Amino acid sequence: MNILKIIYKLDTYQIMKTNRLVLLIAFFTSIFVFDQTIIIAQESNWTHFRGSNLDGISAENVPVFWNDTTNVIWKTEIRGKGWSSPVVYGNQVWVTTATVDGKEMSGICVDFKSGKVLYDILLFKQDSIYRKHSINTYATPTPCIEQGFVYMNFGSSGTACVNTLDGKIIWKRDDLKVEHVQGTGASPILYKDLLILHFEGTDQQFIVALNKRTGETIWRTDRPSACYDLLLPIGKKAYITPIVVNVAGKDLLISNGSAVCIAYDIQTGKEIWRVVQGEDSTIAMPVTEDGVIFFYTSFVTPANGEKYVELLAVDPKGAGDVTKSHVLWRFKGPILQLLTPLVKDGIIYTVDSQNNLIAIDAKTGSSLYTKRLKNKYNSSPVYAGGRIYFTSVKGETLVLKVGRTLEILAENKLPGELYATPAIAQNSILIRNESTLYRIGER
Q: Which domains does the chain have, with CATH numbers?
A: 44-440 (2.130.10.10)
Rounded to whole angstroms, the Cα distance separating 162 from 157 reads 16
* Contact of 206 with 222, CB cutoff 8 Å: yes
User: Which position has the higher pLDDT, 2 or 153?
Assistant: 153
How many residues in the chain?
A: 443
Nearest in space to 356 (alpha carbons), one of 371, 336, 375, 345: 371
Nearest in space to 354 (alpha carbons), one of 367, 369, 370: 370
Rounded to whole angstroms, the Cα distance separating 334 from 298 reads 10
Task: Output phi, psi for 226, to 5 deg.
Answer: -60, -30
Specify the pLDDT at position 131: 81
Specify the pLDDT at position 134: 85
Specify the pLDDT at position 128: 80
pLDDT exceeds 60 at position 29? no
Specify the pLDDT at position 40: 38
Classified as helix, coil or strand, 261 is strand
* Contact of 123 with 104, CB cutoff 8 Å: no
Specify the pLDDT at position 211: 98
| Mean pLDDT score, 22-35 | 39
Give tens-digit pLDDT for 405-422: 999 999 999 999 999 999
Nearest in space to 280 (alpha carbons), one of 261, 257, 264: 257
Rounded to whole angstroms, the Cα distance separating 282 from 369 reads 25
Helix, strand, coil percent content, the chain, rounded in steps of 5: 10, 40, 50
Q: Which helix (H) or strand (E) holds 327?
A: strand 327-333
* Contact of 194 with 266, CB cutoff 8 Å: yes
Task: Output phi, psi for 12, to 5 deg.
Answer: -65, -40
Those residues with Cβ within 8 angstroms of residue 357's Cβ, 6 or more apart along the chain or in another chain:
349, 350, 351, 370, 371, 372, 373, 377, 390, 398, 406
Rounded to whole angstroms, the Cα distance separating 394 from 398 reads 11
Specify the pLDDT at position 130: 81
Rounded to whole angstroms, the Cα distance separating 106 from 301 reads 40
Pairing of strands 320-321, 271-276: parallel
Rounded to whole angstroms, the Cα distance separating 366 from 350 reads 13
The model's confidence at residue 43, banded by pLDDT at 50, 70 and 90, is low
* Contact of 357 with 373, CB cutoff 8 Å: yes
The beta strands (E) that lie in 60-116 are given as 72-77, 87-89, 92-98, 104-111
Give tens-digit pLDDT for 171-214: 999 999 999 999 899 999 999 999 999 999 999 999 999 999 99
Rounded to whole angstroms, the Cα distance separating 47 from 89 reads 7
Mean pLDDT of the chain: 91
Rounded to whole angstroms, the Cα distance separating 335 from 241 reads 19
Rounded to whole angstroms, the Cα distance separating 141 from 118 reads 21
- pTM attached to this predicted model: 0.89
* Percent of the chain topping pLDDT 70: 90
CA distances from 30 to 38, 43, 358 (A): 12, 20, 48
Rounded to whole angstroms, the Cα distance separating 138 from 157 reads 9
Give tens-digit pLDDT for 135-169: 889 999 999 999 999 999 999 999 999 999 999 99
Rounded to whole angstroms, the Cα distance separating 423 from 287 reads 17
Look up residue 81 and give its DSSP letter.
B
Rounded to whole angstroms, the Cα distance separating 102 from 130 reads 8
The model's confidence at residue 42, banded by pLDDT at 50, 70 and 90, is very low
* Contact of 287 with 341, CB cutoff 8 Å: yes
Give tens-digit pLDDT for 228-281: 998 999 999 999 999 999 999 999 999 999 999 999 999 999 999 999 999 999
Rounded to whole angstroms, the Cα distance separating 109 from 100 reads 19
Long-range contacts of 176-181 (CB under 8 A, 24+ apart): 176/208, 178/202, 178/203, 178/204, 178/205, 178/206, 179/130, 179/203, 180/130, 180/131, 180/132, 180/155, 180/156, 180/237, 181/130, 181/131, 181/234, 181/237
Nearest in space to 144 (alpha carbons), one of 182, 189, 97: 189
